[in-house]
Amino acid sequence: MADWNPALYSRYEDERTRPAQELLARVPLASPRWVVDLGCGPGNSTELLVQRYPGAQVTGIDNSQAMLESARQRLPGVAFSFGDIATWRPEQAPDLIYANAALQWVPGHEALFPRLLAELAPGGVLAVQMPDNLDEPSHRLMREVAAEPAYAGAIGDASRLREPRRPIAAYYDLLAKDAAQVDAWHTVYQHRMDSPGAIVEWVRATGLRPFIDPLNAELRASFLADYERRIDAAYPARSDGRRLLAFPRLFIVAQRKP
C-alpha cells in the first residue's frame, strides 16, 4: 500500500482519540517505567500516554515514515522509531504495550497476542483496541464494490485485505492462560457525520486504503463514486440531516502474571 496520510487521518482526530482514552483509562498501572505505543500513528495516542505517565520512558513504533514524522513534530521530546509490529521485539521488557487501532492490520493473531504478552515485564500490561466493523455496511460495501468486474482484477480477493474478524472470546482464550487478569469489552460508537461523503472520507484514511491504493486515478474516482452512492443508501439522513456511522470497537487489557 501507499504510505499513510497523517492529515487525512487526523481530520477526525477527536473521534479517533476517544477510544484511545477509554482504553488507557482501564490500564491498571500507576507508574510504569517503560511504555511502548505500538502503531503510534501521528502521535495522538502517544500524547495520552505521555500525559498520564510523565515519569515514564515512552516510545512510539510505526511502519509509516509519514506518520512518524507527524508524531515527531507533535511530540519532539519523545522517541519514535520505525518498526513492523509483526516482527518487533523490544530491547528490554516494557511495563506497558499499548496498541490502539493497529493490530487489525497485522496477520497471525494466534501467535501475535501471546507473543506480545510474553514480551512484557512481570505484571506488565498489554492494552489493545481494534475496530470490529468488518460486518458493518461501511466495510461490507467496500467488498461489494471491489467484487464488481471493473475493479476486481486490480484489487483481487477483497476478503484477504484485512486480518479476519474473531470473536472477543477467542482473544480472551489466547491471553487468559498466561495472564493474571484479562478485561475485554465491546463499545459501539455512533459518530455523527455531515454527509455520505464525510463517511467516505473517514474510511478513506484507514479501511478503504487497501481497496483504492491498487487502482489508477480513473478507476479510483469511479470506485469512490460507486461506494459513496451505496453509503448514501446504507446510512440514511437522521432528523437533523446528519448520518450516524455505527463503529464497533473491541478492547482488551491483559496483565501478565507477576
* pLDDT (tens digit per residue) in 131-188: 999 999 999 999 999 999 999 999 988 777 677 778 999 999 999 999 999 999 999 9
The angle that helices 217-234 and 196-204 make with each other, rounded to 10 degrees, is 130
pTM value surpassing 0.85: yes
Rounded to an integer, what distance in angstroms lies between the CA atom of residue 198 and that of residue 243? 9
CATH of the domain at 195: 3.40.50.150
pLDDT over threshold 60, residue 62:
yes
DSSP output for 221-252: HHHHHHHHHHHHHHS---TTS-EEEEEEEEEE
Q: What is the mean pLDDT of the chain?
A: 93
Residue 225 belongs to some domain of the structure: yes
Range of the domain at 199: 6-256
Residue 62 belongs to some domain of the structure: yes
Residue 213 belongs to some domain of the structure: yes
B/e letters for 238-254, b = 16+ CB within 10 Å, e = fewer, are eeeeebebebbbbbbbb
Residue 109 belongs to some domain of the structure: yes
Confidence of residue 72 (pLDDT cuts 50, 70, 90): very high
Rounded to an integer, what distance in angstroms lies between the CA atom of residue 62 and that of residue 72? 12
Whether the CB-CB separation of 194 and 242 falls below 8 Å is answered with yes
Residue 1 belongs to some domain of the structure: no
Name the DSSP letter for residue 2. Answer: P
Average of pLDDT values for 30-51?
96
Q: Report the greatest alpha carbon distance in the chain.
A: 56
Q: Could you give the percent of the chain with pLDDT greater than 70?
A: 94
φ, ψ at 38 (rounded to 5°): -90, 115
Number of domains in the chain: 1
- pLDDT for the residue 207: 87
pLDDT over threshold 60, residue 113:
yes
Exposed, middle or buried, 188 (CB in 10 Å: 0-12/13-18/19+)? exposed
Residue 65 belongs to some domain of the structure: yes
- pLDDT for the residue 12: 67
Residue 183 belongs to some domain of the structure: yes
C-alpha cell at 258: 507477576
Rounded to an integer, what distance in angstroms lies between the CA atom of residue 83 and that of residue 211? 24
Confidence of residue 2 (pLDDT cuts 50, 70, 90): low
Name the DSSP letter for residue 11. Answer: G
pLDDT over threshold 60, residue 7:
no
Which of helix, strand or coil describes residue 34? strand
Q: In what order do the strands lie in the sheet with 179-193?
A: 79-82, 57-62, 34-38, 96-100, 125-131, 243-256, 179-193
- pLDDT for the residue 8: 54
Residue 200 belongs to some domain of the structure: yes
C-alpha cell at 240: 437533523
Name the DSSP letter for residue 161. Answer: S
